């Protein structure tokens, strides 16, 4: 039995593997194969690319924010948390 899954390796290079119950206990072969044939685009940018021209519909600052969000989701950047709206606004102003 072989189970294949594509995952994102975070910059920390640390991953946790939960083995499905179909895989029996004992030795297994774990193989990592880098996907080098394509560079994955920001998930939001990919959805909002102009269908005719292929151009992005966002400016560079917005695209950078989308990419930062993707990195937070992948665990590469810690999420910032605020206890109140005032804390958030103070952070935005600084």
Q: What is the pLDDT of residue 41?
A: 65
The pTM (predicted TM-score) of the whole model is 0.39
Q: Which residues of the chain have pLDDT under 70?
A: 1, 35-42
Residue 82 falls within a domain, yes or no?
Answer: yes
Domain count, the chain: 1
Residue 58 falls within a domain, yes or no?
Answer: yes
Q: What is the pLDDT of residue 51?
A: 76
Q: What is the pLDDT of residue 40?
A: 63
Residue 69 falls within a domain, yes or no?
Answer: yes
Asked whether 80 and 87 are in contact (CB, 8 A), the reply is no
Q: What is the pLDDT of residue 89?
A: 92
Burial environment of residue 18 by CB neighbours within 10 A (0 to 12, 13 to 18, 19 or more): exposed
Look-up of token digits 């039995």 = 1
Q: What is the pLDDT of residue 24?
A: 84
What's the rounded Cα separation, in Å, for the pair 91 and 34? 38
Instruction: Tell me which residue range forms the domain holding 63.
Output: 43-93
**Two tokens, residue 65:** 């924010």
**Two tokens, residue 84:** 């109140």
Q: What is the pLDDT of residue 39?
A: 55
């Amino acid at each position: 039995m072989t189970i294949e899954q594509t995952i994102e390796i975070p910059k920390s290079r640390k991953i946790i593997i939960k083995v499905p119950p179909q895989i029996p206990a004992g030795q297994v072969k774990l193989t990592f194969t880098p996907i080098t044939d394509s560079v994955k685009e920001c998930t939001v940018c990919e959805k909002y690319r102009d269908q005719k021209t292929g151009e992005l519909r966002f400016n560079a600052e917005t695209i950078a924010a989308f990419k930062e969000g993707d990195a937070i989701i992948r665990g590469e950047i810690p999420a910032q948390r605020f206890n109140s709206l005032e804390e958030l606004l103070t952070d935005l102003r600084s």
